[in-house]
Structure 1
Amino acid sequence: MEAFFRDGMRFTAVDEGAADVGTIVLLHGFPQRSQSWTDTSRHLVAAGYRVIAADQRGYTPQARPRSRRAYRLNELVADVVALLDTAGVDRAHLVGHDWGGGVAWMFAAARPDRLHSLTVVSAPHPRAVVRAMLTSRQLVQAWHVGFFQLPWLPEAAIRWRGGRIAVALLKRSGLSEQMAREYTDRLLGDPGCLAAALRWYRAMPLDMAAGLKTGAITVPTTYVWSTDDIAIGRRAAELTSRWVTGRFDFKVLEGVSHWIPEQAPETLAALILDRARSVR
């Protein structure tokens, strides 16, 4: 499967391996694309899994609606349903990083019938984030979320001098120079991509009530957090277990930044496989 369709939109995807033991679906975050999973996916395919890494809405030209309402969580969840249906997969092991993790939490709450297991990387459960904002420095750490709500200014800042500020901030958060430049160039070089990627953040106020009502997660779940993540504090990470009633593992990667799929792909793949194998 090279693509899947929903509501007239075409989403690209990387589909590798044979489903000898199951299917793993990988959801990327901001400002990544499906290629951020390349190194992790290699280990999963070698273990006998079919691995599908999708380019989510906004990150591919033929699935780039202009309304921020089109980026609400219910729409993002429906995209994953369309992916599974097109791939002919009844139930999968779902993995999400960053914004992909936010979609994964909501998908697991809304459609547990389509999942064998859940692995979320970096992004805590939405209700854990809200609680942490009231009891820790989480609100300060997530300053960029508020900044991205502003009109035109975030786009101007990211575009300034060919993305110089964006590259510097991504490097400060833990990405290599090469990856920071590659992600920035993709955002700026693909017309409409930057604005679409920011619509994920600008739809957040529309989803506040839905996030606060996110139900308990009943499927077997692993949550992976890293100590050098400058955007997600320990408080939000540790609170996540309160909203998981299924089997739950909390894994902490010492000395790893927010960019776990890029920085620790082998370790992450091992954790994903441990979770997937636990529900055979």
Structure 2
Amino acid sequence: MEVKARGLTFDVYEGGPDDGEPVLLLHGFPQDHREFDLLAPRLHEAGLRTYAMDQRGTSPGARPADVGAYRITEAVADAIGVLDALGLESAHVIGHDWGANVGWLLAAWHPERVRTLTAVSVPHPKALRLALRVRPAQRARLAYFKVFQSRVAERMLLARDAAMLRLMLRPIGERAQLYVDANREPARLTGGLNWYRAFTADQMADVRLISVPTTYVWSDKDGVVSLTAALRTRDWVDADYQMVAMRGISHWIPEQAASALAGAALSRIQGV
């Protein structure tokens, strides 16, 4: 369905029992709502109602031209606006990659709107900041940010039949083609890359302790997030907390390990 919020139109894909507790699903880059295709049915079987939102830059009706419009703070406001439009006072939140960042900020700044948080792959911003300061290897892991912020990022990702994009998504096998095809649309790819171009460290400066029940899911083959950042996330949650570490799984947890992620998310949601 199309949901109008903040002067934009977001594509939101709903499923599960009408009377189920609501779960807001927030995707990352270069994916969209379909990264939860393998997870959502397991949540529906447990009686939950899911709302998978194509975020700013991905939804065709939510692609502002100005790079500054893609600050993470705008994406947080989008999520609140969509919850309002859906008539939901609060929801369980599951976010991956950039969606996890949005989830952390939602829980930090609007805890009354977040019943539980399951953050996938990306740790609490302050834990990542610490790892960047004390672990040179963590800085190296995020070197791709500069590439994605460049003016030629679109060409680089799509060159030679999208070879770089395919390499990024290789762990999810044939499903990678879904996102290769989707990102051939120039406006769509630019919208996703603008999240990187608009990002500055000050946007995360006011991220405080998390006061809602939280699970952080990390995988040991993640090429982006170090163990230090994963472990120190615990320092920033002042509520019931669990870290779930997956072995042999890459950054793309929702599609590579959907069953295990469902177990972690359901344990969090049903444990409240």
* TM bin (shorter chain): over 0.9
SS at structure 2 position matched to 1:273: helix
Deviation of 1:179 after TM superposition, in Å, equals 2.2
State whether structure 2 residue 215 is matched by structure 1 residue 222.
yes
Q: SS at the partner of 1:204?
A: coil
Counterpart residue number, 1:104 = 103
Contact 2:210–2:237 under 8 Å retained in 1 = yes
Q: CA shift at 1:191, angstroms?
A: 3.5
Question: In the TM superposition, what whole-angstrom CA distance separates every residue of 1:125-153 from its partner, at most 9, and x where no partner exists?
Answer: 111111101112111011111221222x2
SS across alignment from 1:123: coil
Which of 178, 181, 187 aligns to 1:182? It is 178
How many angstroms apart in 2 are the aligned matches of 1:35 and 1:166? 17
Query: Residues 144-200 of structure 1, C-alpha deviation per residue, up to 9 Å, x if partnerless?
Result: 11221222x2111112122122212332xx231x22232122111x24011111000
Q: CA RMSD in A?
A: 1.2
Query: What is residue 233 of structure 2 aligned with on the other side?
Result: 240
Match of 2:79 in 1: 80
Q: Which amino acid aligns with 1:201?
A: Y
Determine the structure 2 residue equivalent to 1:59.
58
Whether the 8 Å CA contact 2:6–2:78 is kept in 1: the answer is: no
Alignment partner, residue 49 of structure 1? 48
Letter in 1 for 2:225: I
**Deviation string, structure 1 residues 219-263 (Cα, Å, up to 9, x no partner):** 000000011111111111111111111111011011111111001
Give SS of 1:215's match: coil
Q: Secondary structure at the match of 2:140?
A: helix
Shift of 1:19: 4.8
Partner of 1:201 in structure 2? 196
CA separation of 1:90 and 1:19: change in aligned 2, threshold 3 A: farther
Alpha-carbon offset, residue 86 of structure 1: 1.7
Contact 1:4 1:82 in 2 (8 A): no
Quote the offset at 1:124 in angstroms. Answer: 0.6
The 1:212/1:96 distance shift into structure 2, 3 A limit, reads same
Unaligned runs of 5+ in 1: none
SS of residue matched to 1:218: coil
Percent identity at matched positions? Answer: 37
What is the aligned residue count? 271
Q: Which moved more, 1:76-85 or 1:179-188?
A: 179-188
* Residues 1:154 and 2:153 are matched in the alignment: yes
* Residue matched to 2:122: 123
Alpha-carbon contact 1:19-1:48 (below 8 Å) kept? no
SS of the aligned residue for 1:230 comes to: coil
Secondary structure at the residue paired with 1:225?
A: strand
Equivalent position amino acid for 2:142 in 1: A
Which AA in structure 1 matches 2:150?
L
The residue identity in structure 1 corresponding to 2:230 is A
Normalising by the residue count of structure 2, what TM-score does the alignment of the two structures yield? 0.96
- 2:143 corresponds in structure 1 to 143
